[in-house]
């Protein structure tokens, strides 16, 4: 079994999920807040130490016309930083509409209140990770 961490990167928050290759499933973990416009590297390091992933999966948002969003250079930079800091492979995956789907799934659960933005970000990270897992043979 291989463990992976998935990230839904945003300028102010980063949703994080954990998944594994046997069932090709993922579970939302947490949403980290950026500090002074920088990722919370201490918390990311703590998650990597706790889960010991073999790779990291990072969502890359696209517009509906298949072009990358205007702030995608920040995501590419975050990917390079993850790889450089932790020495793990970082795989980018199209995350188009994952936040919308995460919100829909969380809202559809019986008896639950409207989801918080943090819950949506972590659930989107799980969807990003599951998308990548399902694309693997």
The full set of domains in the chain, from first to last, is 3-64+76-135 (3.30.420.140)
- Three-class DSSP category at 71: coil
Which tokens hold the place of 114? Answer: 């409207």
- Residue 28: the pLDDT is 94
Asked whether the whole model's pTM tops 0.85, one would answer yes
Q: Which residues of 117-131 are buried (b: 16+ CB within 10 A; e: fewer)?
A: eebbbbbbbbbbbbb
Residue 115's pLDDT is 79
2 Cα distance to chain centroid:
17
In this predicted structure, what is the pLDDT of residue 1? 63
Calpha distance 70→63 (Å, rounded): 9
d(CA 87, CA 82): 8
Query: Residue ranges of the chain with pLDDT lower than 70?
Result: 1
Residue keyed to tokens 């919100």: 103
């Amino acid at each position: 079994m291989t463990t992976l961490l998935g990230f839904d990167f945003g300028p102010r928050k980063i949703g994080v999920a954990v998944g594994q290759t046997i069932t090709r499933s993922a579970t939302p973990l947490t949403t980290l807040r950026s500090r002074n416009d920088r990722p919370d590297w201490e918390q990311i390091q703590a998650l990597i130490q706790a889960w010991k992933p073999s790779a990291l999966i990072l969502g890359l948002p696209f517009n509906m016309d298949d072009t990358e969003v205007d702030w995608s250079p920040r995501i590419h930079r975050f990917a390079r930083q993850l790889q450089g800091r932790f020495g793990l492979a970082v795989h980018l995956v199209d995350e188009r509409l994952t936040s919308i789907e995460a919100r829909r799934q969380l809202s559809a659960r019986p008896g639950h209140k409207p989801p918080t933005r943090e819950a949506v970000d972590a659930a989107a990270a799980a969807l990003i990770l599951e998308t990548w897992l399902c694309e693997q043979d």
